[in-house]
Amino acid sequence: MLNSLDLPTEPSKTRVVVAMSGGVDSSVVAALLKREGYDVIGITLQLYDHGAAAHRKGACCAGQDIYDARRVAEAIGIPHYVLDYEARFREAVIDRFTQSYLAGETPIPCVECNRSIKFRDLLETARELGADVLATGHYVASRRLPDGRRALHRAADPDRDQSYFLYATTPEQLDLLRFPLGELPKEKTRELAREFGLTVAEKADSQDICFVTQGRYSDVIERLKPGAVQGGEIVHVDGRVLGRHEGIIHYTVGQRKGLGLSVGEPLYVVRLEAKEARVVVGPREALATRLIRVTDVNWLGDVPLETLGEKGMEVAVRVRSTREPRPAILRSTGTSTTVELLSAEDGVSPGQACVIYESDAPRARVLGGGTIARTMAEVAPAAA
Binding residues for ATP: 19-26, 45, 137
Q: Is 210 a catalytic residue?
A: yes
Tell me the CA distances in angstroms from 151 to 54, 185, 192, 304, one per residue in order. 37, 20, 26, 15
Nearest to 20 by CA among 36, 5, 34, 1: 34
d(CA 267, CA 262): 9
Contact, 378 vs 175, CB < 8 A? no
Contact, 242 vs 263, CB < 8 A? yes
d(CA 357, CA 375): 19
d(CA 307, CA 298): 15
d(CA 146, CA 161): 24
The catalytically annotated residue of 60, 110, 210, 354 is 210
CB count, 10 Å around CB of 383?
7
d(CA 231, CA 249): 10
d(CA 321, CA 166): 11
- Binding-site residues: 19-26, 45, 137
Sequential DSSP letters for 268-282? EEEEEETTTTEEEEE
d(CA 174, CA 161): 17
d(CA 307, CA 228): 42
CB count, 10 Å around CB of 128?
9
- Count Cα neighbours of 313 within 13 Å in the Cβ-side half-sphere: 19
The catalytically annotated residue of 61, 110, 113, 354 is 113
Q: Which residues are catalytic?
A: 113, 210
